[in-house]
Amino acid sequence: MKITVYGASGYQGRLVLAELARRGIEPILAGRDPARLTQAAEATGLHGAQRRQAAAGDHRALARAFTGSDAVINCAGPFTFTARAVAAAAIDAGCHYVDTCGEQLAIKDLFDTLASRARGAGVSVVPAATDGCVLLDLLASLVAARLDRIGEMRTVHLIGPGGASRAARCARWPRRSRPSDRAAWSTTAASGVLHRPAAAVRCGCRGGRRCCRLRGSRCRRW
């Protein structure tokens, strides 16, 4: 199986590269910065792996980079700025698409804009393949299947204190989103139910001096 990892140079991208290598799959590294792709290849021992440069805004370059692969794993976040473009190019290149997005608006956008295109191309688009989203979606689906007349379900994913990568810090609620957009956050897991997963829960002190209630340590500024 041929797999292209887009955003291969980031923290998650490197984890995915390492896992693919562990499974005996030599991935193609794709991203916007060739120097950073080389660094990632060196760091993960994939010295001879193919590298393809494509900016997220360049549909033709992305489709070219993905052509010949069976699947694209998108690790380039914040996904609000990459998911639709990368997924659309994957579909046009005939590749399945998976990402690690936890940004609800970007996830919803993929379902809203690319579902029929993916169906037409005979490929799967699987956003939100993360420890937070997959488990919460499954739980929401199970609960929804057992209860009648749910209007809204809130799920919470607790993350203890710790560092966050550049992209993870930026992937908080998109600054540009409006309150009306926020009210529309949903995933399709529990059909007919507005399911608003909170990908990460901060302690609510907004980086102030109060303690994080999770483990009693100081809250980091997110």
Ligand X SMILES: NC(=O)c1ccc[n+]([C@@H]2O[C@H](COP(=O)([O-])OP(=O)(O)OC[C@H]3O[C@@H](n4cnc5c(N)ncnc54)[C@H](OP(=O)(O)O)[C@@H]3O)[C@@H](O)[C@H]2O)c1
Q: In whole angstroms, what is the distance from residue 194 CA to residue 130 CA?
A: 20
**DSSP code of residue 194:** E
Nearer to ligand X, 32 or 195 (CB): 32
| C-alpha distances in Å from residue 119, one per residue of 5, 204, 210 | 22, 41, 49
Instruction: Determine the Cα angle at 47 with ends 46 and 48, to 5°.
Output: 95
Q: Which two tokens stand for residue 53?
A: 């440069």
Residues 6+ apart with CB under 8 A from 5: 13, 16, 17, 20, 27, 28, 29, 30, 72, 73, 75
* Contact criterion met (CB below 8 Å) for 23 and 46: no
- Shortest reach from residue 41's CB to ligand X, in Å: 12
Residues that bind ligand X (CB under 6 A): 7, 9-13, 31-33, 36, 56, 75-79, 81-82, 100, 102, 130, 165-168, 171
- Shortest reach from residue 6's CB to ligand X, in Å: 7
Nearer to ligand X, 170 or 194 (CB): 170
- Shortest reach from residue 79's CB to ligand X, in Å: 5
Instruction: Determine the Cα angle at 134 with ends 129 and 7, to 5°.
Output: 15
- Shortest reach from residue 169's CB to ligand X, in Å: 8
- Using CB positions, name the residue nearest to ligand X: 77
* Contact criterion met (CB below 8 Å) for 56 and 86: yes
- Shortest reach from residue 203's CB to ligand X, in Å: 18
Q: Which two tokens stand for residue 156?
A: 């919470």
Nearer to ligand X, 210 or 222 (CB): 222
Nearer to ligand X, 5 or 193 (CB): 5
- Shortest reach from residue 180's CB to ligand X, in Å: 23
Nearer to ligand X, 130 or 150 (CB): 130
